[in-house]
Amino acid sequence: MNQTLKKHTFPSGLTLQIVQGDITAEAVDAIVNAANSYLEHGAGVAGAILRKGGPSIQVESDQWVGAHGPVSHAEPAYTAAGNLPYRYVIHAVGPRWGEGQEHAKLAAAVHGSLHRANELSLASIALPALSTGVYGFPRPLAAGVILGTIQDYVAENPASSLKTIHLVLFDQKTVQAFLNAWEQDDHLHT
Mean pLDDT, to the nearest integer, of 133-147? 96
Query: Please, are residues 149 and 186 in contact by the beta-carbon 8 Å criterion?
Result: no
Percent of the chain residues topping a pLDDT of 90: 92
| pLDDT tens, residue by residue, 71-125 | 999 999 999 999 999 999 999 999 999 999 999 999 999 999 999 999 999 999 9
Report the amino acid identity of residue 126.
A
Average pLDDT, the chain: 95
Confidence check: pLDDT of 190 > 60: no
Annotation: CATH topology of 3-8+18-172: Leucine Aminopeptidase, subunit E; domain 1 (3.40.220)
Q: What are the Cα distances from residue 111, in Å, to 76, 132, 152?
A: 10, 17, 9
CB atoms near residue 122 (< 10 Å):
23
Predicted TM-score of the model (pTM):
0.96
Query: So what's the pLDDT on residue 148?
Result: 97
Mean pLDDT of 8-20: 96
Written as one string, the DSSP assignment of 105-130 is HHHHHHHHHHHHHHHTT-SEEEE--T
Query: What is the per-residue pLDDT across 33-42, written as a single tens digit (0 to 9) for each?
Result: 999 999 999 8
Share of the chain above pLDDT 70, in %: 99
Instruction: Look at residue 189 in the predicted model and tell me its pLDDT.
Output: 66
Q: Is 66 helix (H, G, I), strand (E, B) or coil?
A: helix
Check pLDDT > 90 for residue 188: no
